[in-house]
Amino acid sequence: MEQTALRPKPMPGQEPGEGRGGGGGGKSGPVRRPHAARRRGRRLTTLLSGLLAAAVLVLSGVGLGTVGATVIGMSKLAELRRHAGPHQSGSPGARHPDPAGSNAPPTTPVPPAPAVATLGLEAVDAEKTGALVVGVHVPGPGYAAGLVRGDVVLALGRTRVDGAEDLARAVAKARVGHEVMLTVRHRGGGHQQLTAVPGVVT
């Protein structure tokens, strides 16, 4: 019976005759791996490309933010100049001569506009007559009075309401803080009188 000699398989990167106890008797030196250097180069290139892209994105975001802040600031400045009036327009350091002289009387302050009453409702014209309530602000005078979405306001006090405009005019004429009587038709068809106290929007 013949016996076959077992030969060790070469390690990766070694030639068949370069084993530790190889029959060639040659010395096994360090194995060169050219593909490892290529991988390192690719990784370095990818890393540098990523850093460059991140820097570009950050700088473009900062630039966009700066431009946005400048535009907003310029619009606010233009609005302030518009409110300041024509005599103060122009460059901030420019002085315009006062035609009335330096001892002109100061302007009197404008009295505030009178408060307009509101019920805190959103209404549209109903199909037949009245103002259909499509929204009730919570909290609000209409909500406190018991109005709900789908109610139709037919009268406010002694004023008949044929549509949403009539309701708006009647509410604007009402006195803030004084009770008013609302005649309402509910969605189910029933009529009811509710008491509301108009408020103001601040």
Per-10-residue mean pLDDT of the chain, 202 residues long, equals 68 59 49 62 85 84 72 69 59 50 64 76 90 90 91 92 91 88 91 90 70
CB 47 within 8 A of CB 55: no
pLDDT for the residue numbered 34: 57
Quick count: other Cβ atoms within 10 Å of Cβ 137?
Answer: 15
Confidence (pLDDT) at 21: 46
* Amino acid occupying residue 122: E
In this structure, are residues 120 and 200 in contact, taking their beta carbons and an 8 Å threshold?
no
pTM for the structure as a whole: 0.44
Show the tokens assigned to 17: 């005759």
Give the pair of three-digit tokens for residue 26: 């040659």
Vertex 20: Cα angle to 18 and 26 (nearest 5): 50
Query: Which residues, 6 or more positions from 160, have their beta carbon under 8 angstroms from its beta carbon?
Result: 154, 166
Q: How many CB atoms are closer than 10 A to CB 22?
A: 16
Instruction: Look at residue 181 in the predicted model and tell me its pLDDT.
Output: 92
Pairing mode, strands 191-196 and 117-118? unpaired
Q: Is 117 within 8 Å of 102 (Cβ atoms)?
A: no
**Dihedral through CA 147, CA 149, CA 154, CA 160, nearest 10?**
80
Question: What does the alpha-carbon distance between residue 139 and residue 148 come to, in Å, rounded to a whole number?
Answer: 12
Instruction: Say what the pLDDT of residue 71 is.
Output: 67
